[in-house]
Amino acid sequence: MALEGEYEPSPEQWVRDQVAAYEASDGQEANTLPDHPEWPVVVITSKGAKSGKLRKNPVMRVEKDGVYAAVASKGGAPEHPTWYHNFLEHPEVDLQDKSEKHTYRVRVAEGDERAEWWDRAVSVYSPYAEYQEKTDREIPVFLLERA
């Protein structure tokens, strides 16, 4: 993986715990949403937009043909998650899917492509549809393609 720098753990305890368990087990543990074994996650490392420090976040595993989607839902909050800004400022990330680790280029999906990936994401994790109903913003979908 390509990203280097100082890692600054999330201020959220559950995120810190999940990332630590995921990485320590090479993705064999903590690889689903807590208390939901039917919803797999991957861990994405991005560079902080302001701090430049490495940030790690578990996100839902939405993948097709080696391309991953990262849905910036923040549970339907009115604002984007912090990592949304990281992706825009530094569009190279590292992604770990269980034991597979690679570097990816990130871009925002738009138009028909976004619609296709949105439907795919909702089929993997149905709460995304509810999150979209809760917010006035169109929830961004990022595509991650191998660098």
Ordered DSSP codes for 51-106: T--EEEEEEE-EEETTEEEEE--GGG-SS--HHHHHHHHS-EEEEEETTEEEEEEE
| 143, 80, 83, 93: CA torsion to nearest 10 | 10
pLDDT at 2: 85
List, run by run, the mean pLDDT of 10-residue segments along the chain (147 residues).
92 96 97 93 98 97 98 97 97 98 98 98 97 97 96
Sorted by where each starts, the structural domains of the chain and their CATH numbers stand as 13-146 (2.30.110.10)
Helix, strand, coil % over all residues of the chain, rounded to 5 = 30, 35, 35
pLDDT at 147: 86
pLDDT at 9: 96
Residue in this structure with the two tokens 């559950």, named with its chain if needed: 14
Q: What is the DSSP letter of 11?
A: S
Predicted TM-score (pTM) above 0.85: yes
d(CA 64, CA 75): 23
CB distance 143 to 109 below 8 Å: yes
